[in-house]
Amino acid sequence: MTDWSLSVLLSGLHDEIQQKLATARKAFGHPGTKGDASESVWLEMLKTYLPQRYRATKGHVVDSIGAISNQIDVLIFDRQYSPFIFEFQGQIIIPAESVYAAFEAKQSINAGQVDYAQKKIASIRRLHRTSLPIPTAMGVLPAKPLHHIIGGLVTFESDWDPPLGQPLLDALSSQEESGRLDLGCVAAHGIFMCEVDGCHVAAPETKAATAFLFELIARLQTCATVPMIDIRAYAKWLAS
């Protein structure tokens, strides 16, 4: 018998994230610096605890038609099967086919931030994605249907009282399907999720960051692998 405790380990993970977010909020006066620090906390957690097939970064998304998204705070993308990721002067650009999930990271959640995140997520989901038939040793498999890109918002605090009450649920339901936020975390209070019927639920959690991480991994598992990208659709830009 050992003295290890899974409950203590999971609590420690959440406590570490919450403390870092609280420090970022208190230590930096400039809003931009404060925001960058908060984004880094969430990215560090995902880079540490997500399975290695996934990568997490701040960046842009591009499609084979040539459309490029605005910068997204947290992009979770495939690195095992993605043939190219562009990096220029510290800016990361990821093909739309490779994206599993996208999150905005803010200091506090409110109606304005929910609306902002919904519009950012919708802009990514509207990008064009290719999917080719998949050659295997057993023959050619049909092209993989495009998976749903998980979208969400992660924050430290909430501007509402109660933090996860009806105003939050009303804000989450105010956007059309393309901008739906599937999952989010308010580290100091709990998480929110969109369920299979399209309705949102909020769950107060004492270990919110850990609960968010586990739910995210479970949802990523349902995406399976990314579609087989049509490289030639991107290669046509070489002649432009």
Task: Name the residues annotated as catalytic.
Answer: 73, 104, 106
Torsion over CA: 194, 200, 203, 208 (sign): positive
User: Cβ(205)–Cβ(190) under 8 Å?
Assistant: yes
Rounded Cα–Cα distance for residues 236 and 64 (Å): 9
In sequence order, the 6+-apart residues with CB closer than 8 A to the CB of 119 are 175, 179
Q: Which two tokens stand for residue 212?
A: 């968010």
Parallel/antiparallel/unpaired status of strands 150-158 and 183-186: parallel
Angle, CA 214 vertex, CA 209 and CA 216 arms, to 5°: 90
Rounded Cα–Cα distance for residues 114 and 122 (Å): 12
Rounded Cα–Cα distance for residues 100 and 122 (Å): 14
